[in-house]
Amino acid sequence: MKSRWNDADLTAQNDELDQLVYLSRLLGEDHSLVLLGGGNTSAKVRERNLHGEEEEILYVKGSGSSLEDVNRDSFSPVRLQQVLPLLALHGLSTPVLMNAFSCAMTRAKSPTPSIETLLHALLPFPFVTHTHADSLLAVGNTEHGEEHIRDVYGDDVLVVPFRSSGFDLAQCCAEAVRRKMTSKTAGIVLMHHGIFAFGANAREAYERMIALVSRAEDYLKANQAWELPQKQGSPRHQQGLEIAALRQAVCRQGNNRPFILTVDDSPTALAFASRPDVADISQQGPATPHHAIFTKRVPLLGRDVAAYGDSYRRYLAALTGAVERIDGAPRIVLDPELGLCAIGVNAFYADAAAEVYRHTIDIISRASALDRYRALPAGEILAAEVEYGGFEHKVRDDERRPLSGQIVLVAEAASPFGQACSQALLSRGAAVVGLDKSRDVATLFPPPAYLGMACDTQAPAAIADALETAARRYGGVDHVVAPANFPLTLLQPFLALSPVTNRVVLTDNDPKHLEQALAKLVGQGLHANALRLAGNGAAAGGKLAAEMCGPLFEKSSNSLIEINK
């Protein structure tokens, strides 16, 4: 791992907070160090209060912020003299601790300070960094993890046993600092969690982190535990309907709510899913509890989703109220033919689960090559999974996005009407698959909720290929917006596997064509609406399309509607 610090990126006008933003982004941009809000950084700054008195302020990353895109407002200013005395107390619960942090802030509208604020506060250095580095976890999450950590670092770091983030961890670290820290101490390793590094200035804190992580990488390489197994997939056959069936089963276990399912069949994912020891290494748990927020504790092996749900609910029963907060559906599926399948309440969280588990694969594979992978006991992971349930409900209950988890195919998506419909559907939380002959369709809207493909919408072979891609990207198709002459028979097998009530919106300027097509679909049991794009409808119907798109996909009407200006 190379330092990317460049003094030229900073000017003489950059204060400590600017430097903190810079080093945070450098760390956050490397996802082998931190993922999806993980990790945190801080700086201690002397400022004058309203009375003109100078006091020391800890600027610490706000809870949930992503290091790679922080700005000055992402950091919470906390009075050090107000939080440090907390260490002398006993048994503070997390809610009490977080309230104390909030009460110590100098700016009321700042984000909630990190749960590890007290740990940042107690370290006697101006700048502190904390990451969940993959290579560090690969070395430490093993049967002889602490021995390996000692081999890597000697006395250059303090080693602290696992404690859940919060008051207990801060007190444990405070004791280690008091008893063992010396002038040569460059960091603290938190077993099954991550690593802290610190320095007298921003550059020193950053480069110490890079140097410490590099030593873990070098150790893995020296022990032939760096290269990841690879497996080339056989020539891809049509698996779209298998993927859609898997998604349907997942949604049933997820309290019959729709999910997005994305497939990674890379050589690394296929090799991991096909390992003869995958049942042993994958079922121990994640590399660190933070990962379970997105992936749950263990993946499903194979495709028996119902059996996974039964087993998972029994596991959740150990914690009162957990079953009510979290469903029985997996968030990760490992299958030797499909590779890695990741599930989320929308496209963003499906991609998040996939990225987290790709890093989990790297960590477990390297740990297994070094020694024998060892995760934390299940009880230590459960709290993170309950936290997952909390944020998932918040996403589900967002009234502005009632179509979250649902997938809509829009044919002729590059037309003015198609673009208006796609925009309306995306704004209501849907994932949109846009098809059009125009190559512009690929870049109409940003990922991850939009997938645009250049495709002849009257060519069955081209549509079949597009459906295969859509299934791998999102898990299938639930609804369709298409011209009346679109070959819907190709989509019907996917619609039959949808976890939600299908709705089809047909467009044409000929009312007779629309009435015939509408009657045919209603006769097949589909919920359909027909939009007659009369007069200026095709060109000027964007606003109306946007207004109607939500209701058309949330209610059943089986009606013919005219858009004429």
Highest mean pLDDT among 33-47, 216-230, 312-326: 216-230
pLDDT (0 to 100) of residue 320: 67
* Cβ atoms within 10 Å of 80's Cβ, excluding its own: 17
Q: Work out the angle at residue 208's Cα, subtended by the Cα atoms of residues 173 and 67, and round it to the nearest 5 degrees.
A: 80
Q: Is the pLDDT of residue 36 over 90?
A: no
- Looking at per-residue confidence, does 53 or 212 come out higher? 212
Q: What is the pLDDT of residues 346-358, one digit of tens each?
A: 999 999 999 999 9
Q: Where are the alpha helices (DSSP H) in 71-144?
A: 80-83, 94-103, 117-122, 134-140
- Look at 211-225, 270-284, 513-527 and tell me which has the smallest mean pLDDT: 513-527
Q: Work out the angle at residue 382's Cα, subtended by the Cα atoms of residues 381 and 387, and round it to the nearest 5 degrees.
A: 105
pLDDT (0 to 100) of residue 379: 86
Average pLDDT, the chain: 91
Q: Is the pLDDT of residue 331 over 70?
A: yes
pLDDT (0 to 100) of residue 565: 44
Q: What is the pLDDT of residues 456-483, one digit of tens each?
A: 999 999 999 999 999 999 999 999 999 8
Q: What is the pLDDT of residues 422-448, one digit of tens each?
A: 998 999 999 999 999 999 999 999 999
Q: Is the pLDDT of residue 545 over 60?
A: no
Q: Is the pLDDT of residue 419 over 50?
A: yes
Q: What is the pLDDT of residues 246-257, one digit of tens each?
A: 999 999 999 999
CB 393 within 8 A of CB 325: yes
Task: Report the pLDDT averaged over residues 314-326.
Answer: 78
Q: Work out the angle at residue 427's Cα, subtended by the Cα atoms of residues 485 and 505, and round it to the nearest 5 degrees.
A: 20
Q: CA-based diameter of the chain, in Å? A: 85
H or E segment and range at residue 511: helix 511-523
H or E segment and range at residue 286: none
Question: Distance between CA 334 and CA 313 in Å, rounded?
Answer: 20
Q: Is the pLDDT of residue 549 over 80?
A: no
pLDDT (0 to 100) of residue 534: 59
- Nearest to residue 42, comparing CAs of 210, 214, 199, 211? 199
**Is 277 buried (19+), middle (13-18) or exposed (0-12) by CB count in 10 A?**
exposed
Strand partners, 44: 58
Q: Residue 48: left if φ>0, alpha if ψ -120 to 50, beta else—which one? A: beta
Task: Report the pLDDT averaged over residues 326-340.
Answer: 95
- Looking at per-residue confidence, does 255 or 393 come out higher? 255
- Nearest to residue 471, comparing CAs of 491, 488, 447, 485? 491
How would you label 337-351 residue by residue, b for 16+ Cβ within 10 Å and e otherwise? ebbbbbbbbbbbbbb
Task: Report the pLDDT averaged over residues 252-273.
Answer: 96
Q: Residue 535: left if φ>0, alpha if ψ -120 to 50, beta else—which one? A: left
Q: Is the pLDDT of residue 537 over 80?
A: no
Question: Distance between CA 231 and CA 353 in Å, rounded?
Answer: 22
Residue type, 203: R
CB 24 within 8 A of CB 4: no
SS3 275: coil
| pLDDT class of 516 with cuts at 50, 70, 90 | confident
| pLDDT class of 503 with cuts at 50, 70, 90 | confident
**Is 274 buried (19+), middle (13-18) or exposed (0-12) by CB count in 10 A?**
middle
Rounded to the nearest angstrom, the gap between the alpha carbon of residue 9 and the centroid of all alpha carbons in its chain is 30
CB 270 within 8 A of CB 336: yes
| pLDDT class of 319 with cuts at 50, 70, 90 | confident
Task: Report the pLDDT averaged over residues 501-516.
Answer: 80
Question: Distance between CA 555 and CA 521 in Å, rounded?
Answer: 16
Q: Is the pLDDT of residue 396 over 90?
A: no
The rounded percent of the chain whose pLDDT value lies above 70 is 92
Pairing of strands 527-533, 194-199: unpaired
